[in-house]
Amino acid sequence: VDLYDRPDVYAALRAPQPEIPERICALARAHVRGEVRKVLDPACGPANWLLPMAQRGYFVAGNDLSPSMVRAARVALAGHDAEIARGDMRDLRLASAPFDLAIEVSGTSGLMLERRDLLAHLRSVASVLRSGGLFLMMVFTRDSGPVPSAWESGEIPLPDGGLASVRYEVMSRVDHTGVERIRRTVRTHGVQDCPPQFAEEYSVRTWTWRELHSLVAEVPEFRLGTVLDDDLLHPIDEPAFADRPEVVAMLHRV
């Protein structure tokens, strides 16, 4: 079992903190030139981030590679003004483009291990954002935290019954490539058709402050603005960058 094959479990475990969508709206109001009507999530999963935006009256568009996530996003957004497409975040094709705001605040960019893949993603998002628009992109930083290290959620109830929890372990880190090996273990109780425990290992790419700046400099359609903490509240400067496992970069569509 892969967590992405269980959108119901994923949606519960990775639900946004309730205050974050409102902060995204405030950033959009402050930083998008002109009206904000259409919002894109280029790797939307089960629409965890799009649903609160749709509920606030925005048109939302989502894209995801996984058929089960695409199905789950369509169910979650039924009755809302939305487009959900199956595709690669490095080659977005959405009939409802262009968008005013794009959000990828759950760390999916970390799955792109090669610089050229993240560049292709940035170029693709730029191609579907209008001038004056904003892309909020989470990146993992080359942080100085201990390895190995672990973080575990509490037990979270699922809407259809049962409980789930998740544990993330950073197993190893290779400083010169910026790649971290992560093990994710999901435990469930009483969730229909779900094993009580399943684990996966995957790699994520981390970035230094300089690497992030040089990456964005290669995409002239974007200007790198303020880098924020993952609560979307505080600006992060170069010295603070490596003290945080992840940050959110504000990319302004020129």
Ligand X SMILES: C[S@@+](CC[C@H](N)C(=O)[O-])C[C@H]1O[C@@H](n2cnc3c(N)ncnc32)[C@H](O)[C@@H]1O
Q: Which is nearer to ligand X, 77 or 209 (CB)?
A: 77
Rounded to 10 degrees, the C-alpha dihedral 34/39/42/46 comes to 160
> x/- contact string, 163-192, with ligand X (CB under 6 A)?
------------------------------
Judged by CB under 6 A, the residue of 40, 43, 77, 137 near ligand X is 43
Q: Which is nearer to ligand X, 110 or 133 (CB)?
A: 110
> x/- contact string, 70-99, with ligand X (CB under 6 A)?
------------------xx----------
109 is an interface residue for ligand X by CB under 6 A: no
> CA–CA distance from 248 to each of 139, 218, 225, 235 (Å)?
6, 19, 10, 9
64 is an interface residue for ligand X by CB under 6 A: yes
4 is an interface residue for ligand X by CB under 6 A: yes
Cα(47)–Cα(51) distance, rounded to whole angstroms?
6
Rounded to 10 degrees, the C-alpha dihedral 95/99/105/106 comes to 0
Q: Which is nearer to ligand X, 110 or 209 (CB)?
A: 110
Judged by CB under 6 A, the residue of 1, 14, 83, 229 near ligand X is 14
Judged by CB under 6 A, the residue of 45, 133, 178, 245 near ligand X is 45
Cα(140)–Cα(177) distance, rounded to whole angstroms?
13
48 is an interface residue for ligand X by CB under 6 A: yes
Q: Which is nearer to ligand X, 107 or 162 (CB)?
A: 107
206 is an interface residue for ligand X by CB under 6 A: no
The total of other beta-carbon atoms located within 10 Å of residue 34's CB is: 10
Q: Which is nearer to ligand X, 138 or 209 (CB)?
A: 138
Q: Which is nearer to ligand X, 106 or 141 (CB)?
A: 106
65 is an interface residue for ligand X by CB under 6 A: yes
Paired sense of beta strands 99-104 and 38-41, if any: parallel
CA triple 18-191-51, angle to 5 deg: 30
Identify which of 177, 227, 231 has the alpha carbon closest to the alpha carbon of residue 205: 177
- Side-chain half-sphere of 213: how many Cα atoms within 13 Å? 7
Judged by CB under 6 A, the residue of 1, 25, 85, 111 near ligand X is 111
Judged by CB under 6 A, the residue of 61, 69, 84, 186 near ligand X is 69
Q: Interface residues with ligand X (CB under 6 A)? A: 4, 14, 41, 43-46, 48-49, 63-66, 69, 88-89, 106-108, 111
